[in-house]
Structure 1
């Protein structure tokens, strides 16, 4: 079953999606236009529970700070890092009133903190996890708690635009690889869970906005470059209903020995 958006013109839907801001990790723009199942473990709730019992916490790649800011209680020392300037601005506005500091730090740079600074490190959907840096800034007995994008996530979308992907790309974010990397950094994995979740795109504008926001899915994406595929997909949604994909997520919790 399609929504009213699917019956609007291609030009109208694409123009609206291109004009929409893509900073932060607020996905309310997709309401009524796209859906994604939520993982069963409730990351934000579980993260909030751990924050309530921590003294010093670090949230890595915080985006616009939305998940961290939603926690009812923050530790006495709470710091977030973010590498994209528009998100740094947004996270600062959201988190400073809560007493949390936001540090502009490139994703691939060493964490700008001393050894053993935090008893809790969190991260939701990091682009890449630098396990040795996480282990370095954790105190003995401290915990890393993270929800991550799993293997071949939303690859129905990726491969629609880019064609079949090599096996090493499809399996590049495997949970067991994360376990091995965590252990190699001196961390003990105490929880590891994976979920495959249904996604539905109800109009082409939702697809365009998704690819503008989650830029690593189709790295060279522009409306102009992929206009033939976009127009074809617009017609497909209009006649067949939502474009269905499946995201993968995994939850990992690791403790420093």
Structure 2
């Protein structure tokens, strides 16, 4: 590698800068839940509780003989949370993430199972003492209750209501009350209790996000696909250009994520 840095090029014309940023955000891979690409380009506050640290403690509990991580993504969070109980499984449905999770978790003794994100889960009733998930796309409470052993726990960090809605509404326009109620803690508590689970802990925090360039927005919308369903650069080029102009003139685009920590137990 060179011992001195190359000269810094001068700024591109505004239209060329837009095209280059959009192309860059559209070219980077979207598999897994590693967000290191965003370093220096976007930021998000983290919840105060430290989900991975708490997950590590729960997996290490001697009372947990078998655990299941649902919708594990690329396996990055679970990989950093060992050691694991004697039986450890994980599920994932998206093929690129499935391949990544298998490469990462299989050497650690985790069985990675391919399967759809909807019921039924390919496991017997009462198979697990602990079921976990970080940012599941959908929470199937009845299935979680079914595969938990009596006294078992579900421990997860969910995406909360109105997450990144500032960005969603920039592209889609105002979103209605029904959409804003999705993933609301009160709704999730009711769903869990209807499935026969008891909520032991539930906490929600609202966290600041900043996008420093339109390329970061493009990559985010390609990676977190439910933010703007059906997003493509071609379909939203005009809005992307408007966002680029806004960031150039005013600084980072500010949005907010919501995270909910939840622990629910199946009664004995």
Corresponding residue number in structure 1 for 2:40? 32
2:51 equivalent to 1:43 = yes
Corresponding residue number in structure 1 for 2:169? 159
2:101 equivalent to 1:100 = no
- Selected match of 2:208 from 185, 198, 205: 198
Does 195-204 or 47-56 show the bigger shift?
47-56
Corresponding residue number in structure 1 for 2:192? 182
Give the unaligned 5+ runs of structure 1.
none
Structure 1 position 238, deviation (Å):
1.0
- Selected match of 2:241 from 204, 218, 231: 231
- Tell me, what secondary structure is at the counterpart of 1:196? strand
Count of residue pairs brought into register by the alignment: 252
2:122 equivalent to 1:125 = no
- Tell me, what secondary structure is at the counterpart of 1:192? strand
Structure 1: how far apart are the matches of 2:146 and 2:245? 51
Contact preservation (8 Å) 2:59, 2:82: no
Structure 1 position 62, deviation (Å):
0.3
Structure 1 position 89, deviation (Å):
0.3
Structure 1: how far apart are the matches of 2:164 and 2:69? 25
- Structure (1 or 2) with the larger CA radius of gyration: 2
- Selected match of 1:209 from 210, 213, 219: 219
Corresponding residue number in structure 2 for 1:23? 31
2:127 equivalent to 1:112 = no
TM-score (ref. length: structure 2): 0.92
TM-score (ref. length: structure 1): 0.96
Structure 1 position 161, deviation (Å):
0.1
Corresponding residue number in structure 1 for 2:5? none
Contact preservation (8 Å) 2:211, 2:253: yes
Structure 1: how far apart are the matches of 2:104 and 2:230? 31
Contact preservation (8 Å) 2:161, 2:181: yes
Kindly report structure 1 stretches of 4+ aligned residues shifted beyond 6 Å.
Answer: none
Corresponding residue number in structure 2 for 1:84? 94
Structure 1 position 72, deviation (Å):
3.2
Contact preservation (8 Å) 2:124, 2:147: yes
Contact preservation (8 Å) 2:119, 2:143: no
Corresponding residue number in structure 1 for 2:259? 249
Corresponding residue number in structure 1 for 2:72? 62
Give the unaligned 5+ runs of structure 2.
1-7
Structure 1: how far apart are the matches of 2:138 and 2:234? 29
Structure 1: how far apart are the matches of 2:230 and 2:33? 21
Structure 2: how far apart are the matches of 1:67 and 1:132? 24
- Tell me, what secondary structure is at the counterpart of 1:120? strand
